[in-house]
Structure 1
């Protein structure tokens, strides 16, 4: 990866030249410098991060009727989650009986 000396934007390669997509600045490619940019020493792929179940071991429950068909559950655990694209949170319930999740309306 190379950054433009003129504007600081990331440059792309076109043949033997680095080209800035923002200001059009061009610089010749240097194979020795590029070899130094790429290193794989001590890098490893640990795979995808584990997904944590936020309701597992939840001790806080409250009275809430489960809206799932066929479930008569009346207790649910809950957590506050940020609303996607919003600036506030919503409460998300998980039924203790069947595991169905829903958000507060």
Structure 2
């Protein structure tokens, strides 16, 4: 991540240079290719690296929790994913899908 030397706002890559995202700033700089090589762009992430919590999400093959009980069928095993839905100093949210009936729920720690 690169920040504007003029105003401190985050910069984005456009046409081979870094451009300030602030509306009232026209700051630009050369793209630091050494710095860019150290980071993974979200454009190049694979689907398996992204945590999916939508209704269409495929939970099968995700980690399994045995310390839960499905409110719909009472089954005690569910697939889950974890996502940070609040600020970093708050615990993450766990999203579950029952392995028996497919019911989905979330748990705030």
**Would you say same fold, with TM above 0.5?**
no
TM-score, normalised to structure 1's length?
A: 0.41
Higher Rg of the two aligned structures: 1
Report the TM-score, using the length of structure 2 for normalisation.
0.39
